[in-house]
Chains A and B, each alone.
Chain A
Amino acid sequence: MIFSLVKIEAGISGFESPAAQYKELKLNIDDLLIEHPNATFLGVANGESMNGVGIFNGDVLIVDRAVAPRHMDVVVATFNGNFSCKIFDGINKCLLSAADNYPPIDIKQSDSFIIEGVVTSSIRCHRPSRFINVCTS
């Protein structure tokens, strides 16, 4: 009689999850907040003039250069060499703040002015982030 040895595994394998085939991709916060990854940059808000639209000192701004700015969009403009976050009034050609004591800024021919991008969202960390110290300035 011929015997052949067959190796039998006796380890524990457990049960396959009944949900295995329903698995979807995880939610990614970038998908929600960044539509054009190559044209988007992050900045940190510095000042109080945009409190009225919910942008506070230390908030992270997501700025998209690819979208066309529309009237009354929150934008980042380069105004005389500095980045400023303001509301773009396309009709009266001026930059508006969203707080008292900040008068509108007229855009004159002599100013160097360019809209850097549209602030598509802003992020506020209700607990201090370990990456950004919100109360820096």
Chain B
Amino acid sequence: MYALVDANSFYASCEMVFNPHLRNKPVIVLTNNDGCICATNRLAKALNIPKFSPYFKIKQQCEQQNVVVKSSNYELYADLSHKMMNVIGRYASEQYIYSIDESFLHFKNYHHIIDDFHQYATTIRRAVYKETRLPVCVGIAPTPTLAKAANHIAKKLKHYRGVAVITNEQSRIDVLSNMAVGDVWGIGRKISARLVAQNIHTALDLANYPTGLARRNFSIDVEKTVRELNTKQCIHWDAVKSPKKQIYSTRSFGQRIFEKEQLLQSLSEHVSIVARKLRDQSSLVKYMTIFASTSPFDKHPTYKKAFHTFIAPTNDTSVMLAAVDHAIDNVFSNNVAFYRAGIGCLDLVDEMYQQQDLFTPNTDNGELMKCLDHINGRYGANTLKFAAQGIEHKWAMRREFLSPHYTTRWTDIPKINC
């Protein structure tokens, strides 16, 4: 059996943990630079505040209806997620953390110990709320896809009270018949439209779709989904996380950039992020892209891109910074209001098995990078950094409605009235 434990509007719930007077108010959380709405709590949902819409469009509605607006407090969310995952992980021998707010549990050979999975799910749910003050829903079923479906229903239908368990045919039908086919895990928008055109509307319709046809008409992945919905497990986790094949770092600016120096600083910041990620997974980059653009909503959108090939693959921040410095003139141009920039590492090779070039020796200073990572790992990110990254970031992420870092900064721990 598998469980999927998933927090309810995680970002908004995190905001309510140390700010109890928000618990009975509508709360929304905005994305980077306070651009769009990325989370709404139950009361905000009840006001029909649309998720993912730009904040400026509903600003007035928020003010009229006394909606509490918060910027994304990633420092807080990361810490609370970590604690929540630890509590959830206590309830099974195997845990797969799927995202910041979702975790699968695998109950291998647990049927000897747990006779009532519904009771067990309720226990998990209560413990997570008691210990972290984060509300979660739990779906338990024989396969990951069904667990995800059960979780979806536990969230959607009130009378399930946050827990849905698929243990027999009846409970499977109850869950799947209440679910739109587009909400099934692994069914994207395009496939869902094609399915609906074939009169497949609910998850149950999809479960009854012949597997052979699913493969022929769609793909092997859709066939796997159909099998999973029929309690045959097809999805497995890799025991070891395989290294990423591409690494990107990109972000929009809090304030438009017009100066070359500032664009270079922000790109340097991205270089330091991707270089660190490369070193963390022992990869070297061969081919790097450097890009900057205006907003797609601008009148005359501009997108500029440059590439750099490293003859000797590298993960040394200073080597990569030199490449960006070299390429900046191909990306920057005057009189453009840059809104976004980033770095992408496209062609990665394993540090262990790299092919050396006879005429271009590798100039990486591995010891220095190790020292840099060690210091930043111990004393916090950006304790030690390259001068190219700059000190004062005028273009830094805008977070006007940021709550305190309650759990990660001494100056921010909550005040308790005595």
Residues of A within 8 A of B (CB): 36-39, 41-50, 55, 57, 60-61, 63, 65-66, 76, 78, 81-85, 97, 112, 114, 116, 129, 131-132
Using an 8 Å CB-CB cutoff, how does the interface string of B383-418 with A read, 1 for contact, 0 for none?
Answer: 000000000000000000000001100110111111
| A45-B418, A47-B417, A132-B413 known, 20 other contacts, Cβ within 8 Å | A36-B131, A39-B130, A42-B407, A43-B414, A44-B413, A46-B415, A49-B418, A50-B418, A61-B416, A63-B416, A66-B130, A66-B131, A78-B20, A84-B417, A84-B418, A85-B417, A112-B23, A114-B20, A129-B410, A132-B410
Query: Does B248 sit within 8 A of A, measured CB to CB?
Result: no
Using an 8 Å CB-CB cutoff, how does the interface string of B117-156 with A read, 1 for contact, 0 for none?
Answer: 0000000000000111100000000000000000000000
- Taking a contact as CB atoms under 8 Å apart, the answer to whether B417 and A83 are in contact is yes
The minimal Cβ–Cβ distance linking A70 to chain B, given in whole angstroms, is 16
Query: Does B185 sit within 8 A of A, measured CB to CB?
Result: no
Whole-angstrom CA separation of A83 from B19 in the bound complex: 9
- Taking a contact as CB atoms under 8 Å apart, the answer to whether A82 and B21 are in contact is yes
- Return chain B residues, CB-CB under 8 Å to A42: 407, 413
In the assembled complex, 20 residue pairs joining A and B whose CB atoms fall closer than 8 Å, in A order, are A38-B87, A39-B83, A42-B407, A43-B415, A43-B416, A44-B413, A44-B414, A44-B416, A45-B416, A45-B418, A46-B417, A46-B418, A47-B417, A47-B418, A50-B418, A60-B413, A65-B130, A81-B21, A81-B23, A85-B418
Query: Does B107 sit within 8 A of A, measured CB to CB?
Result: no
- Taking a contact as CB atoms under 8 Å apart, the answer to whether A38 and B83 are in contact is yes
- Taking a contact as CB atoms under 8 Å apart, the answer to whether A76 and B410 are in contact is no
Number of residues on chain B facing chain A (CB within 8 A): 23
- Taking a contact as CB atoms under 8 Å apart, the answer to whether A41 and B406 are in contact is yes
Whole-angstrom CA separation of A57 from B47 in the bound complex: 41
- Interface contacts (Cβ under 8 Å), in number, total 84
- Taking a contact as CB atoms under 8 Å apart, the answer to whether A48 and B418 are in contact is yes
Query: Does B24 sit within 8 A of A, measured CB to CB?
Result: yes
In chain B, positions 281-339 with a C-beta closer than 8 Å to chain A are: none
- Assuming A38-B83, A132-B410, is B131 touching A83 (CB within 8 A)? no
- Return chain A residues, CB-CB under 8 Å to B24: 81, 112
- Return chain B residues, CB-CB under 8 Å to A43: 413-416
- Return chain A residues, CB-CB under 8 Å to B410: 129, 131-132
- Return chain B residues, CB-CB under 8 Å to A114: 20
Chain A residue nearest to B86 in the complex (CB): A38
The minimal Cβ–Cβ distance linking A125 to chain B, given in whole angstroms, is 11
Whole-angstrom CA separation of A46 from B417 in the bound complex: 5
Using an 8 Å CB-CB cutoff, how does the interface string of B70-101 with A read, 1 for contact, 0 for none?
Answer: 00000000000001101100000000000000
